[in-house]
Amino acid sequence: MADVLGTSPDEVQFRFRDDEVVDHGTVTVDSFLDQSNATAVRIEPGDDARALLPHLERIALVEVNFPSFMDGRGYSVARILREAGYQGELRAVGDVLIDQLLPMRRCGFDAFAPDQKLDEADAQAAFDRFPHAYQSASDARQPIWNLRHD
């Protein structure tokens, strides 16, 4: 059995899903690919998210680790998974800060487990700050250029 990693449900500070919080530890991408029954996986910045695409059906939780908020690879990981139709929980973990919440949300993250608990009011303000978005991403927002030509 590979080492179980990852955050526990009580470390999840923000969640935008109605289903039960997934409560089993994640495994590395390599261990995940070696096992036929794992349902939760943790992606590190250098991992290739595309390796998971054949297995999306059985995955309930993907954790994407941000060891440093300056490393933006996880944003592309999130979009790649969502664009491929992944419906499960997509949890941003690690160095997740207030000002990254909205872009992460737009890239398809629907759960956040920051290393350091964030100020609730500041976080809420950040999620709600921008009334619109210019471009399509992996959230429900219609980009401004569609709104203009409705």
Partner 1 sequence: MYLYDSYDQAMVDARVAEFRDQARRRLEGKLTEDQFKPLRLQNGLYLQLHAYMLRVAVPYGTLNSAQMHMLADIADKYDRGYGHFTTRQNIQYNWIKLEEAGDLLADLASVEMHAIQTSGNCIRNISSDHFAGAAADELVDPRPYAELLRQWSSFHPEFLHLPRKFKIAVIASDTDRAAMRLHDIGIQIVKNDAGEVGCAFYVGGGMGRTPMVAPLIKDFVPLDQLITYSEACLRVYNRYGRRDNKYKARIKILVHELGKDEYARQVEEEFAHLQSQGIEPPLAELARIATFFADPAFESGLSTELDRSNPDFALWADRNTHPHKQAGYISAVISLKPVGGIPGDASAEQMHTIADLAKEYSFDEMRVMHTQNIVLPHVKIADLHTLWAKLEAAGLGTPNLDTIEDIIACPGLDYCSLANARSIPVAQKIATRFAEKGRTAELGELKLKISGCINACGHHHAGHIGILGVDKKGTENYQLLLGGSEAQDTSLAKITGPGFDEDGIVDAVEKATDVYLAQRQQGERFLDTYRRIGMDPFKEALYG
Stretch that binds partner 1, among 1-9, 17-25, 36-44, 138-146 (CB under 8 A): 138-146
Which residue in 69, 87, 115, 124 binds partner 1 (CB under 8 A)?
69
Q: Is 132 exposed, middle or buried (0-12, 13-18, 19+ CB in 10 A)?
A: exposed
Task: For the CB of residue 87, give the shortest distance to partner 1 in the complex, in Å.
Answer: 16
Of 55, 40, 50, give the one whose Cα is nearest residue 73.
50
Q: Which x/- pattern, by CB under 8 A, does the window 94-113 give for partner 1?
A: ---xxxx-xxx-xx------
User: Which one, 25 or 103, has the nearer CB to partner 1?
Assistant: 103
Task: For the CB of residue 32, give the shortest distance to partner 1 in the complex, in Å.
Answer: 19
User: Which one, 57 or 122, has the nearer CB to partner 1?
Assistant: 122
Stretch that binds partner 1, among 13-21, 32-40, 55-63, 131-139 (CB under 8 A): 131-139
> Which CB contacts under 8 angstroms, 24+ apart, belong to 110-116?
110/15, 110/16, 110/17, 111/12, 111/14, 111/15, 111/16, 111/17, 111/21, 112/12, 112/13, 112/14, 112/15, 113/7, 113/11, 113/12, 113/13, 113/63, 114/13
Which residue in 73, 115, 124, 127 binds partner 1 (CB under 8 A)?
73
Site size with partner 1, rule: CB under 8 A: 39
> Which CB contacts under 8 angstroms, 24+ apart, belong to 45-49?
45/71, 45/73, 45/74, 46/73, 47/77, 49/76, 49/77, 49/80, 49/81
User: Which one, 38 or 47, has the nearer CB to partner 1?
Assistant: 47
Residues that bind partner 1 (CB under 8 A): 45, 69-73, 75-76, 79, 83, 97-100, 102-104, 106-107, 119, 122, 125-126, 129-137, 143-149
